[in-house]
Structure 1
Amino acid sequence: MRGLGNRQQFVATVEKALAGGINHIETAAAYGESEVYLGELLKEYNRSDIYLTSKVCPTENSAQFIQGLDRSLQRLQVDYLDCFAIHGINTSEHWQWLQQLWPAIERAQQQGKFKHLGFSTHGSLPLVQEVVASGKFAFVNLHYYWFNQHLAPAIASAYGHDMGIFIISPADKGGQLYTPTVTLQNLCQPFTPLGLTYRFLLSDARITTLSLGPAIPQELNEPLSLGDHLEPLSEQEQRILQNLLDHQKQALGTDACHQCYQCLPCPEEINIPEILRLRNLAVAFDMQSFGQYRYQMLENAGHWFPGKKGDRCTDCGDCLPRCPHNLAIPELLRDTHQRLRGKSRRRLWQD
């Protein structure tokens, strides 16, 4: 997804991944020409050696949805997918659409178009837990990182339902850790921020798959060196993660958002917890660039990154009595907006 601008670079990255022992490739119909590039490349490999996942966005129309699946198979030049995911059960409406799609999905699976059904989500914790509890899916793709553990209960729920747990892009969505800030690098010594993030996830036996998301071949070096390190976190690793928490606490003081989500719902539909999480990272770890990258998606990415920006606050005060830490939320929202505002970003699948 990150390396789609250059076809030669894309091919070189995938070839290095396969040569390094990676055997699971995940893409989506919405990721530009990724399926086309992969289809041409994978003809050179034994299909049975590779686990292939693709994703199609939910629709209200079952025929249109299955056409999307068939188009993915055609573009990938394969007869079946090992794993097929509903791309983005992000809202209750998406989940309602799925109720009408079940017969068509089950028929496609019976026809051998895919082996295992899963879903990806950018939705709320209650929605994710509801979908997991349905028992309809074999795996789930989640945003869960050391810097964002809000979906930890969903990890536990999915594990309890014997689901495969796929972590979405810990390097990029987890903090743009291919290019970490100097502050973060210094705090993580002798490890790298990226390496420590991978170890945090790999040491969790409930998690089965990490999406690496490299844009260039060189970005595979560190994850390939860590892929077999599944042992529990060492005392040194635990100590550094605790030091990160201590540093964040000291840097933020009484302005730290603890991510309890009790401030929601906001009458202006401001995504208060996410905005204040990005402020936490920008203030404590100088992750200004990452904060801008995510903040600028608000109001520009629809249900993929819902909510309004901080400057929409009207000082209604509705959130204030609900905050157990007595944060001055309106002031912090305006402060974050000043820190992180910038040019809006386009999603990969937008025109």
Structure 2
Amino acid sequence: MEYRRFGKTNLPLSVFSLGTMRGLSDSSLFIATLQKALQSGINHIETASAYGESEQYIGDALQQTPRSRNEIYLTTKLSPTPDPKKIEIELEKSLKRLQVDYIDQVAIHGINTWEHYQWVTGENNCLAPLQKAQTQGKIGNIGFSTHAPLEIILATLKTELFSFINLHYYYFWQRNERAIALAHDLDMGIFIISPTDKGGQLYAPPEKLQHLCAPFSPQTLNYRFLLSDPRITTLSLGAANPSELSPALAVADQTFPLTTEEKTVLTRLENQLETALGTEKCSQCYECLPCPEVINIPEILRLRNLAVAYEMENFGQYRYGMFENAGHWFWGNKGNRCTECGDCLPRCPENLDIPRLLEDTHQRLNGSPRRRLWE
């Protein structure tokens, strides 16, 4: 296991962190997973007050591990609110459930909208209770997680109110690279959310993708893409049982730059994208937004890119099913909401027939509605 400095927090975190949104149906299995993670060198556990009984499970499990509390770093997350008193109350609940008198890091859970941004930066100042808790020695560092559009993430970073950030960034979705760069410039710890699941359901890749990534597995290649970036501190590992730790642990010491062979495979993936999609490839410039019907055009067309080029239909259906069902966690309406108003067409530098591609994506990927896993 390799360790990296978590930005200005100065905490030496393992390059993989145990995320606890999954695996909460069986307390004994959860304890076994946690103990295996700790034995393997993982020293950072990440949870949230919204993750069901996760905090209670962690608190119980920590009472049964021989590891010193000083060897384990805890991060929990509290939902944003315009009422600072609620933050204070929820923090006390988290301390009680985790059965500790000190939490190393607390994040605002999901600064996803401009309204959330105002709750943090405006007169409400929902950070005040956390800043007070810092002075009282109850918590260490304050950060935020986000599923927001890039513009909101960059604005939040520029406030310089936070010491770390939890965000999405993967080989198959690099939109947040500017946020990674800015967070690094600000010496913030950078935590990548769900690289295997949200990064493409890479634990169950289609045959086409497996073939293109050979001799590596898609999951390993994505891990290496992230681990080779020295700006990134740690990757979330949401294991539901001890065996699910194995793919990550196999590369936990491989933080060196990408090898020639790995770069060759990534070039193969890029070439496949160009070849398979041709003039229908969306290059993710985001110039098509805003859409009058609040359709998340770039994300829908990204899912189409992946389905056509790499046969990642299952992942596409998984994510597409969250549109109109996951609120600010995954914003936007589905492609069939398009009225063919044409507002986006002159703004597309690739002259894509966006209404037709939206309808095609809807036909390919529309399935059962999905909500957030922990909801």
TM (normalized to structure 1)?
0.98
Aligned equivalent of 2:117: 95
CA deviations on 1:52-105 (whole Å, 9 max, x unpaired) are 100011111111111111111111111111111000000110011113223322
Amino acid paired to 1:304: W
Q: Distance in 1 between matches of 2:29 and 2:208?
A: 30
Q: Secondary structure at the match of 1:211?
A: strand
| Counterpart position of 1:179 | 204
Residue 158 of structure 1, CA deviation? 0.3
Residues 254-300 of structure 1 show CA distances to partners (whole Å, capped at 9, x for unaligned) of: 11110000000000000000000011111111111111111111100
Q: Superposed, which structure 2 residues align to 1:1-351 within 5 Å?
A: 1-45=21-65, 46-99=68-121, 100-350=125-375
Q: Look up the SS of the partner of 2:237 in the other structure.
A: coil
Shift of 1:349: 4.4
CA contact (8 A) 1:31 1:348 kept: no
Secondary structure (helix, strand or coil) at the match of 2:141 reads: strand
Structure-2 separation of matches of 1:191 and 1:15: 28
Which ranges of structure 1 fall in alignment gaps of 5 or more residues?
none
Q: Select the structure that is richer in helix.
A: 1
CA offsets 1:297-336 (integer angstroms, 9 cap, x no match): 1100100001100000000000000000011100110111
Partner Cα distance (1:307, 1:319) in 2 = 15
Cα contact 1:296–1:344 (8 A) shared by 2: yes
Q: Contact between 1:30 and 1:348, CA under 8 Å: does it hold in 2? A: no
Write the letter of the residue equivalent to 2:367: G
**Offset, 1:9:** 2.5
CA distance in 1, matches of 2:88, 2:374: 19
> Structure 2: which 5+ runs fail to align?
1-20
Deviation at 1:111, TM superposition (A): 1.1
Identity %: 59
Root-mean-square deviation (CA, aligned residues, Å) is: 1.0
- Letter aligned with residue 104 of structure 1: P
Give the count of matched residue pairs. 350
- Classify the secondary structure of the residue corresponding to 2:105: strand
Q: TM-score, normalised by structure 2?
A: 0.92
Q: Work out the CA distance in 2 between the residues paired with 1:329 and 1:112.
A: 53
Give 2:31's aligned amino acid. Answer: V
State how far apart, in whole Å, the 2-side matches of 1:308 and 1:346 are: 14
